[in-house]
Amino acid sequence: MRIVLIRIFSAIALLGLFFPPIAAAQKLVVGWSAVSALNSPYWVMQDGGFLKQEGLDTDLIYIASSSTIAQAQLAGDVSVSTANSQVIADIGLQGGDLIAMGSVINVAAFYIMAAPEIKRVEDLRGKPVGVTRYGASTDFSMRLFLRKYGLEPVRDVPIIQIGEMPAIAAAISKKSIYAAPMSYPMAYIAEQAGVKTLANLAKEDIPFVHVGIGVTRRFVKDHRAQAKAILRAYGRAVHFMHTKKEEYKKILAKYTKVTDPGMLDGTVQYAYDFVEKVPLVKPQAFQVTLDVIAQKNPKAKSAKPEQFFDNSLVQELINEKFFVSLWGKNP
């Protein structure tokens, strides 16, 4: 028996020389930053099993700001995030290694909600408005919106950092602020409390990578197959959102805590209106971002949009007819 055991262990050791142990698959942390239907493709990717279907072991975590989540990404704590174009460009101009390998939303996708006495954008002069956090997509969108109507942020219209969307809705109702960018479902809740829609930014022609598929260049270089798998999972998730509406509502309800049927229907339509079926980054969205940043950071004036995104993986999927295979046609 002893001789037999020695031979078995010797054989195992010998096999180890020729077949080294397979390293355990690295768990990917996927971060999202707002309780909004615009982030719902990330929820569906996870809860619908599409990341797992692509062979990815993932954890989905909530961090309440694009700027905060980007910092976690640079620290290596998050692999993929919803970082917007302002955050990505700001970090890139400082030498940071963060890019968008795709875009969930290519426009500023908020409703500007305001107190009833605000009849026109110009009525906001001298009155404070709210954003979730400075540097977040709410902040960037509000600044672009104000400038479009000749109002200089801070100088003409004070901007206050409030926190999450529920806190913003409460602040408007208490007149702590007089307007703020809001998304569904919280915009619906604010309307029920008497807050009105001042503007729909979808109609204001403000290009912006509102929700990105943010990674580091190193991640794309070292884990290109995984990065491409994430984009496939995204494509399948968006297809699910459109073709499995009732199942999609259940996932929305889980993350938003919304159960009201009307609110859920509005939230679904909000996502349909803005979420990209093919997540190509539009260069103009980064150019507009750079134009705004250039007002404070001269480095942005000489920067090119292409420094901050990489469409190559999405383009590969387009060339492979992946999106056509999902939709039965070019979406």
Q: What CATH number is attached to the domain comprising 163? A: 3.40.190.10
Residues 241 and 187 in one domain: no
Q: Is residue 13 part of a domain?
A: no
Cis peptide before 261 (omega within 30 of 0): no
Our CA angle for 143, 149, 154, nearest 5°, is: 40
Answer with the one of 203, 228, 259 that is the final residue of a domain.
203
- Domain of 168 in residue numbering reads as 111-203
pLDDT at 189: 84
The residue among 151, 172, 203 that closes a domain is 203
- Give the pLDDT score at 26: 67
State how far the Cα of 200 lies from the Cα of 268, in Å rounded to an integer.
17
Count: domains in the chain: 2
Query: Closest Cα partner for 48 from 315, 243, 284, 320?
Result: 243
157, part of any domain = yes
Amino acid at position 175, single letter: K
The verdict on 83 and 161 lying in the same domain is: no
Q: Where are the alpha helices (DSSP H) in 155-260?
A: 165-173, 186-192, 217-222, 224-243, 245-256
**Domain shared by 271 and 132, yes or no:** no
Dist. CA 306–CA 311, nearest whole Å? 9
Q: Are residues 181 and 160 in the same domain?
A: yes
Clarify whether residues 238 and 285 are in a common domain: yes
Whether 40 is covered by a domain: the verdict is: yes
List the chain residues with pLDDT less than 50.
1-2, 4-24
Could you give phi then psi for residue 80, rounded to 5 degrees?
-135, 140
Same domain, 318 and 183: no
Contact of 326 with 236, CB cutoff 8 Å: yes
